[in-house]
Amino acid sequence: MHQPPPSAHVAVASLNQTVGDWSGNAARVRAVLNEARARGVRLVGLPELAISGYSLGDRVFMRGTLERSWQALLDVLPATYGLIACVGLPIRHRGVLYNAIAVVADGVIHGLAVKEHLAVGDVQYESRWYSGWTHGVVETYVSPDGQALPIGTLLFAAEGIGRFAVEVCEDGWKGLRPSSVYALAGAHIVLNPSASWFVLGKHARRRRICQQVSAEDYTAYLYSSLLGCDATRVIFDGSVFIAAAGDVLQEGRRFRFAHDHELIDAIIDVEALAAARSEEGSWRAQVEALHRGAYGPIPQVVTVPGDFSTVNPAPAPEPYWVPRSVELDPSLSWLAAEGRVPRAPTALDLPHLELELALCLGLSEYVRKSHIRGITLALSGGRDSSMCALLVHRMHHYDTGLTGDALRAHVRARFATAYLATAHSGGATREAARLLADEVGAEHHESEMQAAVDTHLDLTAAMMGLRPSWSDPAHDIALQNVQARLRGSLVWMLANLKGHLLLTTSNLSEAAVGYATMDGDTSGGIAPLADVPKSLIQLWLAWAADFHGVASLGAVLHTPATAELRPPGSGQTDEDDLMPFDVLDRLVYHFVQLGQEPAEMFRALWPSFGPRYSGDPTAFAAHIRKFVTLFCRAQWKRERLAIGFRVTAFDLDPKTGFRFPPVQAPFTEELAALDAAVATLR
């Protein structure tokens, strides 16, 4: 049995991979391994499914996917000489698909660790493709090239590293973690290869998990994740951590736009971890319980031949009384240091900056990996399109590092905007659009399209013998929609002529209640704001105006949100058409994320919302009734919306998020229960 070494040189990396890019993915893996070797690293962990990309979907069922994944693994074997690498890929064993991690050293595959807990629920759907491995089971896997390899609950041991083990992504998020058993069985190092996608605030939780697991199990915990968008709606921010005994020793940079990977390394004081275990009575008791069978079978040990010792000792820790400088978010400190943002972000900046980085990265990845030459946007002077325009501008900054006039010139060659006016368009929105387009550097166009609207009305009159009129309330929706659809047609023409991707500006709040015209303002191939609530858009714009110094946003924020589809004298605003957006967004959250029925929503929210409704519960209940009715009616629209990016804790995407039936009884009995709840307050 290998004795714990005094120290071990370890590393983890994020990787920007693409589903189906077999040679490119393998080349990026080799690049990371070569860099790790050059730093003197002896054990390196790569992300979950790093060979194939995580978002394979049903492509994983194809035989060629598994064969090419294995071949790509074989192709990177020469890059593992002198070190041990943990590399993820899908495999088929006993006719069943598994999410596996190959442990490779000196050009030889020594075994496969397998994911036990599948991520299922929310956007997670892993059980559609994979099976979870039963803890404690070890079998023999016969690879596509005929190798017989141990697979399952394995503990690895190597000279200079000691014992180490692997748990995969979701395994580390559960209370009963495989890593705890591995630690009791002697592992001082645990690797967690992940494909953990971005959600606002999630990175801080990852950090806490790494600290907690490493403290509870007296281990070095090596966490790696993917970077970018490999194929789908989720964004990987590229988190990487090395933690030991509750302290984060190294934390990598996230949202690396122009880099394929981020590698961090550290020399672990293994001797100190072993000493801490030996001094802890409860730890010794649990080790004894493990050997009595209390926690299932003891993991089988696979010895990796060779010497992977490091000549460098681990740095001496500072005494506990020495004050430590803790950055707000070390993973984003590089942005200010490299001049990518105007100042170091504070706690108030962090959620808005994270949102910006995630959406810009998702959009950048989609454009780059789909070989798109540019972007077109209908810029209305309103909040949604203004946020989209600024995100395009910021995306190009993060991609290139350019600033000022050089950035504006770069953007102008790749970004076109258009203000499409009807008789109902106002001068304030026209000017706001023009000012913002100029400030971000877009090639801006304006069009008077009332003649096209009038032509459609003339054609309708000739076809039906009836000319739609604003004087007839029954014609209201048709008259609004025709404008939106003609705008969609015209901006598609601009995008097609330029060979651009057309952005749609639909947001989560409007998608929830169907406040969008199909084939009108929903036209486009990507919806950057599909998962962003309207109230957050308002907050982000106010933050961006200050943080980035975008003067033209003042004109946008000064104008009430309005579709400008009714005659100017009507005083149309979005909130008059619907309800206050902060109320709407809370209702969406309680209905979708918390799964509350109308009466439950009322009881949960009335204490805080009561004063704004002047104590009238019937007014608030009317908004709940309106919301639920519109939400049920709008599902067919959500089925047709453009691809968006997941950035919040829940989304309405029927393919990967909230799966809601388009045909159903629209909460008739549940709304009756709402009336009963209101009656108790009268």
Query: 171-208: per-residue pLDDT in tens?
Result: 998 778 999 999 999 999 999 999 999 999 999 999 99
> Per-domain residue ranges for the chain?
8-317, 329-500+531-559
Rg of the chain taking only CA atoms, in angstroms: 28
Q: Buried (b) or exposed (e) across 633-643, using 16+ Cβ within 10 A? A: ebbebbeebbb
Whether the predicted pLDDT of 1 surpasses 50:
no
What rounded mean pLDDT belongs to the chain? 94
Q: Which of 501, 534, 500, 493 is nearest to 516 (CA)?
A: 534
| pLDDT at 334 (0 to 100) | 92
User: Number of C-alpha atoms within 13 angstroms, CB side, residue 289?
Assistant: 11
Yes or no: say if 83 and 36 are a contact pair by the CB < 8 Å rule.
Answer: yes
Average pLDDT on 78-92 reads 98
Q: Whole-angstrom Cα distance, residue 401 to residue 196? A: 27
> CATH number of the domain at 329-500+531-559, please?
3.40.50.620
Q: How confident is the model at residue 19 (pLDDT cuts 50, 70, 90)?
A: very high
User: How large a percentage of the chain has pLDDT more than 70?
Assistant: 99
Q: Buried (b) or exposed (e) across 523-554, using 16+ Cβ within 10 A? A: bbbbbbbbbbbbbbbbebbebbbebbebebbe
Whether the predicted pLDDT of 140 surpasses 80:
yes
| pLDDT at 353 (0 to 100) | 97
Residue 636 token pair: 């067919």
Q: Which residue has the tokens 């693409």?
A: 18
Average pLDDT on 540-548 reads 97
Task: Say which CATH topology domain 8-317 has.
Answer: Nitrilase/N-carbamoyl-D-aminoacid amidohydrolase (3.60.110)
Whether the predicted pLDDT of 37 surpasses 80:
yes
Query: 358-385: per-residue pLDDT in tens?
Result: 999 999 999 999 999 999 999 999 999 9
Q: Whole-angstrom Cα distance, residue 181 to residue 184? A: 5
